[in-house]
Amino acid sequence: MYKLTEFRLILLLMTTMAAAASHAAPDKYSIGSVATADQISGWDIDVRPDGTGLPPGSGSVEDGKVIYEEQCASCHGSFGEGMDRWPILAGGEDTLTDDRPEKTVGSYWPFVSTLWDYIHRAMPFLQPQSLEDNEVYALTAYILYLNDLVEDDFSLSRENFSTVKLPNEMAFVDDPRPDVINPRCMQNCRDPETIKITWDSTDLGVTPTQHLQTEATEDVAVSDQDAGEQTYKAACAVCHDAGAAGAPVLGDKSAWTSRLEQGIEILQEHAINGYQGEVGYMPAKGGNTSLDDEQVREAVEYMIKLVN
């Protein structure tokens, strides 16, 4: 009798544990899709202070000067002095204790990797990630030269990257605060269809972009026959050629199928006004606000033509 009762208790306990396990949070929620190797490589571009993450390549001060004058001087000045409200890149030595310090690469920034990574990730302003790796090395070398940190015959590469030290490196310390993980929103969540992009940071007028808009408009002033292609190259290729930020790659039918089902009018509306999708963000007009709506529509038509 005792053994039978004990058996029943054990059976009841096992049943209760199995029921509890069946109601536990699942390991996967079947939301989204597994990231592809190409998608991961598009995001995994950070560079560490010791040079970890750097691609092969090199660039000289001499080559960097040519690229800088073509791509950077209109905003940052010929000598890194900054134009209008664009950041100053050079100078500012011994000003960090002043009431109005100049925080430049030479006076404030901690690591060369910060400079390389920012150029590679975010520059030029209207075409981020459009520079070749050797061009990024060259621009980094030239900006170091503007700050009197290397000689004019210097060439920067992955091999000698960690030998260049910035003056303010030791003024930076590790952040001792712990990482904080917020709980997921699993109840009463907002309907994604109700989330709309209502404005762009360029609407604030803080960043002076008129000179860039004039240059970009001139670049895409071409014949009607290839207007869509030219607009694509000027404003869209930086993301859609490589699939950056979740953008569907040009000509990739599998990536475009679900989007084409929405209809060309919806795609053009998203391209003109901006759109937050499940796997990425489409900035209004690809971030090039100087384009008119018709130019954007032509670019969308060009991209769809290469899928069909």
pLDDT recorded at residue 24: 53
CATH class of 40-171: mainly alpha
Q: Where does CATH 1.10.760.10 sit in the chain?
A: 40-171, 209-305
Contact by Cβ (8 Å): 155, 58:
yes
Mean pLDDT by 10 residues, the chain (308 residues): 55 60 60 83 88 95 95 91 90 93 96 96 85 96 97 96 95 89 78 78 65 52 64 79 76 83 86 78 78 88 84
pTM: 0.58
Write out 41-93 in H/E/C secondary structure: HHHCCCCCCCCCCCCCCEEEHHHHHHHHHHHCHHHHCCCCCCCCCCCCCCCCC
Contact by Cβ (8 Å): 95, 171:
no
Q: CATH for 209-305, among 3.30.160.20, 1.10.760.10, 1.10.645.10, 1.10.3720.10?
A: 1.10.760.10
